[in-house]
Chains A and B, each alone.
Chain A
């Protein structure tokens, strides 16, 4: 049954996108309802409707507290991070013309990880820790591109190489911080944070980060056609009238902001940025005019599902970064095996 549904959806793109939106809304509602405090789907729907319409409801007050004060901020953050990492993966793969590139290619994760570790070692409050993570994530990419252009030029291979070098440097610095950190309090905090989890999310996070998330997502959405041009390669894109230095840098800045803010809020969640663009190319094709909307619609939902599993599968929450790797690695192998079958029409 599934292959037939997939085939129909591949043929009918509007149906596919409508399906993705409906699926996303259902997962969103389900995520509000599941958790240790039991709220039925019907009660969740009722609470959401009464909140939107501002009508009175007979539901107990704690249902509203659990749904809107505890679960909603985390769900919104998971959605935004899922969208961001998927979109950053799509952008980096297009700009670097390489489908095996992840959002962490330029060392953002190493830099942000260092910033977080530094903040935790210094015993700063959570907001400052996240700010340091974000700042160092940006600094890494800035250093990588500076080093890249100083070494040779702005070509993608030198940028990737210098990203790797700078990233390794920050990883070593992070290891050093772990080594000197208090092994009973600070070290576990650093380790758990970098594993990737939404449990460090606070209600206030969204207030500061939502603007950056949404601005970058909208920016990439509006510029998505240019990814098709950049994917032709540097010289051909220039022959098609594209100022590749400027457009490419703009994409890298937007994708880096999204990645850095994601890592600073919830650690390193791998695989999703690699897999979602691949699933997208299978279902909607490589045209970024469709692939970018797909990454937005599917990336958020996908992250939400994995986070739902992470927080309900056992009595202790599993870091979502670990679960994403457990789901992501085998899924990626399946995608690579199926790729040749599906790319043929």
Chain B
């Protein structure tokens, strides 16, 4: 998993939206598996890249299953409706994310953590080799944060996906990502193995705060110096 981190307004979400072609780059090009996305039809992009949005505003009380089934859309012809095979794939995605017990409930009546899982299940049903996630663990408590990231980890292994995720929590990035990119003011500040690039100096440079970076064997933790900052 590749994680993108950085302060607010660093351009993390913008980067993801560029990759899904929600916005067009003012310069340069973006290629996926050697194809420039500017020249790919939307359907083709959707078959290659799935996207889990950070915020989803529900409007109609679709059931969880109906939401996940929508992920099959890029695989359907113009006038085609999802068939038995699509329903099976949606059910498999529901099972994989562990939300089978709420599959028949309106997704407007479930918790924030469950909603996040629904959106991830929809992306799985899309069967795209690349999955983008925009802060999948925001709005969640620590138990659900870890749960979601463990689920993503498992899905990546089972489906051999390329996952690019924006994460705010540096400790979660350290624990779950293979590669980390720090963005600041729309520019890449650092890229590499999370354990190597996360240092007190780097955190200070990117976020402008004092932290202690602790090493415990293979694990690295970042702890902010809250009291020191106050004294200044």
Beyond A225-B82, A229-B70, is A281–B60 a contact (Cβ under 8 Å)?
A: yes
Which of A94, A222, A241, A287 contacts B66, CB < 8 Å? A287
The chain B residue with its CB closest to the CB of A242 is B73
Beyond A229-B73, A238-B22, A241-B47, is A345–B106 a contact (Cβ under 8 Å)?
A: yes
Give chain B residues whose Cβ lies under 8 Å from the Cβ of A231.
59-60, 62
Q: Are A240 and B71 in contact (CB under 8 A)?
A: yes
Give chain B residues whose Cβ lies under 8 Å from the Cβ of A240.
46, 70-71, 73-74, 126
Q: Are A286 and B79 in contact (CB under 8 A)?
A: no
The chain B residue with its CB closest to the CB of A339 is B61
The chain A residue with its CB closest to the CB of B50 is A239
The chain A residue with its CB closest to the CB of B75 is A241
Q: Give the CA-CA distance A292 to B219 in the complex, in Å.
A: 55
Q: Report the count of interface residues on B (CB-CB < 8 A).
A: 37
Q: Are A289 and B81 in contact (CB under 8 A)?
A: yes
Does B151 make an interface contact (CB < 8 A)? Answer: no
Q: Give the CA-CA distance A241 to B40 in the complex, in Å.
A: 11
Does A228 make an interface contact (CB < 8 A)? Answer: yes
Q: Are A241 and B42 in contact (CB under 8 A)?
A: yes
Beyond A97-B59, A344-B106, is A223–B70 a contact (Cβ under 8 Å)?
A: no
Give chain A residues whose Cβ lies under 8 Å from the Cβ of B109.
343-344
Beyond A222-B79, A228-B70, A345-B105, is A281–B46 a contact (Cβ under 8 Å)?
A: no
**Contact code string A201-240 (vs B, CB < 8 Å = 1, else 0):** 0000000000000000000001111001101110110111
Give chain B residues whose Cβ lies under 8 Å from the Cβ of A287.
62-63, 66
Interface residues of A in 265-299 (CB under 8 A from B): 281, 285-287, 289
Beyond A241-B42, A241-B46, A289-B81, is A232–B106 a contact (Cβ under 8 Å)?
A: no
Interface residues of A (CB under 8 A from B): 94, 97-99, 222-225, 228-229, 231-233, 235-236, 238-243, 281, 285-287, 289, 343-345
